[in-house]
Amino acid sequence: MAVLVVLAGVLTGCVSVNRSILSRSRMTAPVPRDAVQVYFADDSIPQHERIAILNARGDESLTNEGQMIDRLREEAGKLGANAIILDQLRDPSTGERVIAAIFGGSAQRRGQALAIYVLASSPPDGT
C-alpha cells in the first residue's frame, strides 16, 4: 500500500507546472487540491476573479490526463484559487513522438488552465 502511495506521488511529480500571475488580490490561504473545482470553457462559470494562467507538461509515457488535471488543481490551490477553467489538454503530435524516439527524448503532454477565485457561493447554472 505504501509503495502505491509513493509511486502515485512520483508519477504526479512528473508533471511540471509554470504559472503567470494575473492578480495577487485573492492570493490567500492555500486551497486543498480536492476542493478546487474544474470548469470547462463552455460551462456556465459563476462570477470570478482571475488569479493565474497555468501551463503544465509531463512525459507522455509517465502521465495521463487525470494527473495533469490534478497538478493544475494543486498549483491553483497553492495560489488560493478555488477553481480552474481547463482550456486544453494536448497529447504530443506524431512528429514529436518520432523525434523523441529517434533522439531518445520524451514526448510531452501539455495542458493549460486559468486559475480563478469563484466569488459566488452558489453552484453554476443556479442548481
Instruction: Determine the structural domain holding residue 51 and report its residue range.
Output: 2-126
Q: CA–CA distance from 6 to each of 64, 66, 68, 90 (Å)?
A: 17, 17, 17, 26
- Closest of 77, 75, 74, 72 to residue 28, by C-alpha: 77
Number of domains in the chain: 1
> What cell numbers appear for 41 in the block?
470553457
35 CB neighbour count, 10 Å cutoff: 11
Give the global pTM: 0.73
pLDDT in tens, 2-41: 444 344 444 445 888 888 888 877 667 899 999 999 999 8
pLDDT in tens, 42-96: 899 999 999 999 999 988 778 888 999 999 999 999 999 999 999 987 776 778 7
- Closest of 62, 59, 44, 52 to residue 112, by C-alpha: 52
Give the integer Cα–Cα distance in Å for 80 and 37: 12
